[in-house]
Amino acid sequence: MSKVVVVGSYVVDLMSRTPHLPKPGETVLGGPFQMGPGGKGGNQATAAARSGSEVTFVTKLGDDVFGREALKHFTKEDVNIEYIKVDPDQSTGAALIEVDEEGENSIVVALGACGTISEAEVVEAEEKIKEADIVLLQLETSIEAVVTTVKLARIHGVPVILNPAPYQEFPKEILKNVAYITPNETEAFELTGIEVTDEGTALTAAQMIHDLGVDSVIITLGGKGAFLYTGGDKGELIPSFTVEAVDTTGAGDAFNGGFAHAISNGYSLKDAMKFANAVAALSVTKIGTAPAMPYKNEVEALLAKTLK
């Protein structure tokens, strides 16, 4: 069983359906309301664990009801919670999510405790990072935690996946120690200034990101799939799966958790991306984020179906 360490965010998802996303100043009657575990780190840890990896999650919670529910969730998912800190002075992060009738979403995140993860708290998990097959990061936490994790992974020769989401400025020199980067179109634009609208612009953006030092650039393109670039004059679009989307929230996290599992288990890059696309596709057929992450048998069934 592969060992995956996820360092990042946990927030509780407070989600409501709505006929359409509200305009500025508009109140929309929605419903139903749903509360559940979330945050990019939490979602990715759940996706990797359900895919079949042994997952350690490094994050910080508040000493409140949301934090206690988080610990219950990760215990149930067989995620190692040894390095999940509880801060008595901070609240657990929260995400306010609106999802319209087309499955599109609008999200506001208050990071709370997970936005204050310190260098020392990451260093406490160094032994787990050393033992890991892959380390998975996002930018939905303190940059101090991101930089420290990349540093420790480099020292111990452990490959890093950086999902630069939601985008915030970070020291670009760490990219020389990142094996895989997985921006979506918006994050690729923030990194390069290139508006990604098709395979051609995806290639241009990927080449610029690759020049920053990342070996493998994977730009996720929603329902189209994901674009892979590893150098040279060409990249390749790995297409997604056709499903009926109910809620697209967390699809990128599903992709990253699935990719971490697959690549740490020795899949080729393309096969790992196919596995990740399947995880993402299945996740959007259910409402919610972490609870919508599919299990390995569901993913394998979808992959097998497409091979017939």
DSSP string, 194-219: ----SHHHHHHHHHHHHTTT-SEEEE
CATH number, span 3-20+30-307? 3.40.1190.20
- Average confidence (pLDDT) over 256-282: 97
Return d(Cα 59, Cα 24) in angstroms, integer.
33
pLDDT at 308 over 70: no
What pLDDT does 246 receive?
A: 84
Does residue 253 carry a catalytic annotation? yes
Q: Under a CB-based contact definition with an 8 Å cutoff, are residues 147 and 120 in contact?
A: no
Give the pLDDT confidence of 89-132 residue by residue, as tens digits. 999 999 898 988 887 888 888 999 999 999 999 999 999 999 99
pLDDT at 31 over 60: yes
DSSP state of 179: S
Radius of gyration of the chain (CA): 18
Q: Which of 78, 100, 253, 271 is catalytic?
A: 253
Give the pLDDT confidence of 234-249 residue by residue, as tens digits. 999 999 998 988 888 8
Report the chain's mean pLDDT, rounded to a whole number: 95
Greatest pairwise CA separation for the chain in angstroms: 55
What pLDDT does 245 receive?
A: 86
pLDDT at 280 over 60: yes
pLDDT at 306 over 80: no
Give the pLDDT confidence of 205-239 residue by residue, as tens digits. 999 999 999 999 999 998 899 999 999 999 999 99
- Average confidence (pLDDT) over 135-158: 97
The 10 Å Cβ neighbour count of residue 130 is 14
What pLDDT does 301 receive?
A: 94
Cα torsion angle, 194, 197, 201, 202, sign: positive
| Centroid of chain to Cα 77 | 17
Listed ranges 138-142, 247-251, 284-288, 303-307; the one with the highest mean pLDDT? 138-142
Domain map of the chain by residue range? 3-20+30-307
- Confidence at 69, pLDDT banded by 50, 70, 90: very high
pLDDT at 307 over 70: no
Lowest mean pLDDT among 168-177, 251-260, 279-288: 279-288
What pLDDT does 70 receive?
A: 96
